[in-house]
Amino acid sequence: MIIGGLLIVSWIRGVFLFGLETSTNELRSYLYFFATLFYTITLKFSQELLHKIIVMFGLISCIVILVAIVRWILIGLNIISSTSWIAPNGWTTRVISAGATFVLLQMLIIIFYKKNSLIAFLSLLIVLPIIIGVQHRTIWVALVVSIILLIIITSKIKSVSFLGFLLIFVFILYIFIVNNFSLESFSGTSLDLSTFSWRFFGWEAVFSPERFQSYFDYFIGQPLGTGYLRYIPEYGYETAINPHNFYIQTFLNIGGFGLMTLITLYSSLLIKLWKFKQESTSIAIFLIFIAQLVFFVTYTPGFEQGFILGLGILFATQGMKNQKS
């Protein structure tokens, strides 16, 4: 795998420059995702494997739902609290991580395509309030994009559907322009965009030319261990945490070549899945991959996303061939 090779090269370069511990620590954020991905694609696709992974994610989703509900109850009773659970509107509702919430969205897509209307309806009643309540806005965007694509895919008159959504987008944009809404207008609400603003200025800072030792770094990335230390003038302080954007982090660590490889991988999979869109499993994985691409704009994937991507690769390369034959 090209990505695996680039990671090894970046890690070795980092070991010589920053030492084994520093370089390896920075590798860990990739290791969880790519290790599970590389393991999963060594398996042989079968309906039994698909069923086992769906059941596994179903159990995980049930645990996540239970944790969220119990924590909300305990917060309501003033038994527990945490500043890290405070949502943009000031409510203490963000009781599960973005990664865990994203798993719930992915499971919702899978359940919808299992074609059991009762289970799908019950899941919507339970999962949607949690996704909305915890206020991870990137998951909201992924949810909306998934719904729009689902309607377009299932609509018999796709051009009309597309035109309808385009008109809705233009109408919303018009309302924003007429009312002259600004970032300050949404301060203290669920639409407070200050965290996105912080991310955006942070993304600008990590592309500072001083961070790149040579043009070589632009192609295969900076050595692992370089870190993400940057000064954000708009906020007046330095930070060393990751960029909160998987695409930018990939570019920094394995360069433009690595980023293009990742994008090419997803693009080829989406094209294959789209060509086989008559199969419900194909469309479910297609929607999950689109949701992943949205998620990567502000977050980095955990190990569970490696399983999902690996399963999608197996289905696209083995499962669809078996069904065609």
Model pLDDT, residue 181: 42
pLDDT tens track for 268-299: 999 999 888 778 888 899 999 999 999 999 89
pTM of the entire predicted model:
0.86
Q: What is the mean pLDDT of residues 242-254?
A: 90
The domain in which residue 187 lies consists of 2-324
pLDDT, mean over the chain: 82
Spatial distance between the Cα atoms of 198 and 172, rounded to a whole number of angstroms: 24
Spatial distance between the Cα atoms of 123 and 94, rounded to a whole number of angstroms: 20
pLDDT tens track for 51-100: 888 888 889 999 999 999 999 999 999 999 888 888 877 888 899 999 99
Q: How many domains does the chain have?
A: 1
Share of the chain above pLDDT 70, in %: 83
Q: What is the mean pLDDT of residues 120-142?
A: 88
Phi-psi category of 180—alpha, beta or left, where left has phi over 0 and alpha has psi -120 to 50?
A: left
Fill in the DSSP letter of residue 77.
T
Contact 248, 38 (CB under 8 A): no
Please give the sequence-ordered ranges of beta strands (E in DSSP) within the chain, or none if there are none: 230-232, 237-239
Indicate the pLDDT class of residue 185, thresholds 50, 70 and 90: very low
